[in-house]
Structure 1
Amino acid sequence: MSGYLDRLVAEARGRGDLLVQPRMGFGTVDTMRAGLRKVAALGLPVVGTITVDSYTRVGDHVSPLERLMAGEELNGFPIVTHPPERTREMLDGLYGPSFPIQVRHGTALPQKVIESLVRAGLDTTEGGPVSYCLPYSRLPLTRAVEAWAEGCRFLANETERGHIESFGGCLMGQLCPPSLLVAMTVLEGRFFLQHGVRHMSLSYAQGTHGAQDRGALRALRELARLYLGDATWHVVLYTYMGLFPRTPAGAIDLIGDSARLARDTGCERIIVKTVSEAWQIPSVAENVRALRLTAATPPGSTDADPALEDAYFAEVLEEARRIVDAVLDLDPDVGKALVQAFERGILDIPFCLHRDNRGEATCTLDERGALVWGSTGNLPFSGRTRQEEVAPLSSGELYRMLNHVADRYDNGPAERRTMSRSGGGTP
């Protein structure tokens, strides 16, 4: 029996603690163990991470061995290439009830990764049939659905408390209206349940507007209660997944705001980014500093607007529930329903170039800097969310949107606070 993550979440929830977690991974056993050891020794409520390398993500399990034998570095831990016995040795004395470890991998075909982590004594990973296929892979969605069904069943059958974190709430999250992110993570939760995984976490990526994010996180919890039955679940927030501020001061402010957002909304866990995200792969030391910064940040967002948050909550809840219901009505098999939903445009991800995505729905930023629909395509809304379709984006406007958060934080706290409070009223 393991279930270390679920147990630590329950203990932290009882104390009012926020679990912090880095995203790091290294190629060799010794380097990966050293990184995990430094994180475990922080004395914080923390979760460890083993992030796999880019070769493993695309199913290449030979190149990592060749690169390591040549003395080269990898950008993650090749868990399929390393023998399970070596990974167990790496985890010895670290992995346990006070230090759960999650394997993060980014592959649309997860069977070998899941089998390898289970053989090494682990039981916690992340992903999903949509969220690890459409942004990262050219594989047909049908194949990813079949692969994830197989992986889920293996995890459920081979572990007592196998846990998967849906990545659906991060799906192109920097430019996607939150209702679709919320709906996707709930739908992937239903998929996990159908294939035997009853322990899960539901993700949401920090967006462009604080009140909108707080409303969306409330909506996510409400829908999880409605659709996930007796599953054990918690909510994990990701610090902003788009282009990061280029100045240390801007990055520190953004990291702090993500920590406050997580605490204010009762998130049980947060995936932390570092000050150096804009220009390099973070070191262990930079991850440690970011974890300390996040853990030390108190609750109390500076841009709190309860009326606006309530309005966003109602909007996201209505839209996300319409999407979830429309998908689940297509077929009793959730995987088949997901495939049909993309074929019909009931699910449609803005700016996603995968061939199984219609690409008719678009997103833009409104005058407050919140994420809103431009065109709703064939999404199952009763009338348009916006009164008029917006004109197609120019390359300049898309560039501005992609840089919106980084520019806002790099321009300084005073301007940022002014911008985030602008507007008022209802969305």
Structure 2
Amino acid sequence: MTGTFHAFMAEAARTGELVVQPRMGFGTVDRMRAGLLATRNAGPRTVGTLTLDSYTRVGDFATAARAIHAGDELNGYPIVNLGPEVTREMLAGVRAPDFPVQVRHGSAAPGPIVDALVAAGLDATEGGPISYCLPYGRTPVNRSVAAWREATKRFAELASSGATPHLESFGGCLLGQLCPPSLLIAVAVLEGMFFAQHGITSVSLSYAQQTHPGQDEEAVRALHDIAADLLPGISWHVVVYAYMGLYPATRSGSLELLAAAARLAKRGGAARLIVKTPAEASQIPSIDDNVTALRIAAAAAAHVERADRAPESTGIEAEARQIIDRVLDLHDDIGRALTAAFALGFLDVPYCLHPDNGGRTRSYIAGDGRLRWAATGTLPVLEPATGADTNGMTATELLGALSYVRNHYDTAPLSGRQKELLS
């Protein structure tokens, strides 16, 4: 099988070169192929992406079919409706051992998508029963867990053909922002263990860049240490996401935030970086936008080495382990443990409105720029000794927290080296 994701990432890990990847997805075959070719030819070591459309994500294949028939523009690639032969033909001459392709979607019920990507000869996708459930809709957690259990088992069967199916947990990106690092790490690791429990032997664990570089580096290193302990016998790597929240409105601010994400990935020892582009603040990025972002990220990473020493600990790893251990104590079946954890409030995502989320946790951005707990509900961590009162947070104050990163990067002066990278 050409373009095997697992083998490609194993080779990248051997060389130590950071792999950069866009979140690109287009609704037509020709444009999707052009985007993949541009990614492959961008210059850095890259992975291609098929990001699926929003109708496919929620299983509304009838509406996707009508849109295709009418020639309406979709916001991603409709892999199920187009069928495996069309996708195979689109990938012919593009996907190769040195250029694998991953499917990204956002579905709490991924069965048809997994079947479609396997039928098309693909071997890598991402998501998870929690990370593709809470942020994107109202599907009950137990239904998402059941759907992901069956889809993961079917995906794992791909190994019988000689391929190594790869699953990436989106757990480190919950809501994209204002979620303290310990909870992001815990969900990413728990989803990785869920995949492994159902037959997957190659996984990646995500972490989304947050509000403070030092806190993020500590978190990425903690994710490595915990994965090494809890995923024995599994091939895994860490993938960093450029900031998933409100993006800077200026070109210089957005590209410097991306460069900071690349430096975080390299210093923290991550193997892969998912980029964002200067267009994020106002529109769906073009192919050229994505290529620019890939090159900026790779250039920023090229001037950074993995840090020899970890930053001073602020307790992120210990807190993440507390959460993970408490969830694993609930049941030997990790899917059942995850469902129970939300019912009991042992997993509880700040500011998440999903009906199965307890909604008793709150976070805030401290004066030093770090994300901290203001309220922990029944989350199995120590209650915060001090914290902001977010129960009475106004809409203006919440918007200020959500805009913190954008405002910082839109107003921060650039150094000479930064100007050189961004020119």
**Match for residue 383 of structure 2?**
384
Written as runs of structure 1 = structure 2, the 5 A alignment for 1:174-253 is 174-253=177-256
Q: Distance in 2 between matches of 1:119 and 1:300?
A: 41
Written as runs of structure 1 = structure 2, the 5 A alignment for 1:12-411 is 12-159=12-159, 160-298=163-301, 309-312=311-314, 315-381=315-381, 383-387=382-386, 390-392=389-391, 393-411=393-411
Q: Report the CA distance between 1:173 and its aligned residue.
A: 3.0
Q: Report the CA distance between 1:182 and its aligned residue.
A: 0.3
Q: Distance in 2 between matches of 1:299 and 1:83?
A: 39
Q: Report the CA distance between 1:78 and its aligned residue.
A: 0.4
Change (3 A) 1:31 1:58: same
Q: Distance in 2 between matches of 1:75 and 1:178?
A: 30
Q: Distance in 2 between matches of 1:390 and 1:187?
A: 30
Change (3 A) 1:305 1:158: closer
Q: Report the CA distance between 1:367 and its aligned residue.
A: 0.9
Change (3 A) 1:31 1:214: same
Task: Give the TM-score normalised by structure 1.
Answer: 0.93
CA offset digits 1:364-407 (Å, max 9, x no partner): 011111100010110112x3133457342221211110000000
Q: Distance in 2 between matches of 1:82 and 1:329?
A: 43
Q: Report the CA distance between 1:265 and its aligned residue.
A: 1.1
Structure 1: gaps of 5 or more residues = 416-427
Equivalent residue of 2:81, what SS?
A: coil
**Match for residue 418 of structure 1?**
none
* 1:3–1:162 Cα contact (<8 Å) kept: no
Change (3 A) 1:70 1:341: same
Change (3 A) 1:213 1:16: same
Q: Which has the higher mean CA deviation after the structures are superposed, 1-10 or 278-287? A: 1-10
Equivalent residue of 1:384, what SS?
A: coil
Q: Report the CA distance between 1:165 and its aligned residue.
A: 0.4
Partner amino acid for 1:71?
Answer: G
Q: Report the CA distance between 1:10 and its aligned residue.
A: 2.0
| RMSD after superposition | 1.8
Change (3 A) 1:151 1:255: same
**Match for residue 412 of structure 1?**
412
Q: Report the CA distance between 1:93 and its aligned residue.
A: 1.1
Q: Distance in 2 between matches of 1:252 and 1:172?
A: 22
Equivalent residue of 1:311, what SS?
A: coil
Change (3 A) 1:140 1:391: closer
* 1:373–1:386 Cα contact (<8 Å) kept: no
CA offset digits 1:392-424 (Å, max 9, x no partner): 222121111000000000012369xxxxxxxxx
Q: Report the CA distance between 1:255 and its aligned residue.
A: 0.9
Equivalent residue of 1:401, what SS?
A: helix
**Match for residue 420 of structure 2?**
none
Equivalent residue of 1:374, what SS?
A: strand
CA offset digits 1:240-287 (Å, max 9, x no partner): 000000011111111111111111111100000001100000000110
Change (3 A) 1:19 1:305: closer
CA offset digits 1:298-356 (Å, max 9, x no partner): 4667xx9978x3223xx110100000000000000000000100000000000000000
Q: Distance in 1 between matches of 2:303 and 2:374?
A: 32
* 2:53–2:75 Cα contact (<8 Å) kept: yes
* 1:2–1:161 Cα contact (<8 Å) kept: no
Tell me how many residue pairs correspond in the alignment: 410
Task: Give the TM-score normalised by structure 2.
Answer: 0.94
Change (3 A) 1:14 1:305: closer
Runs (4+) off by over 4 Å: 304-307
* 2:179–2:371 Cα contact (<8 Å) kept: yes
Structure 2: gaps of 5 or more residues = 416-423
Q: Report the CA distance between 1:42 and its aligned residue.
A: 2.2
Partner amino acid for 2:36?
Answer: L
**Match for residue 425 of structure 1?**
none
Partner amino acid for 1:205?
Answer: A
**Match for residue 421 of structure 2?**
none
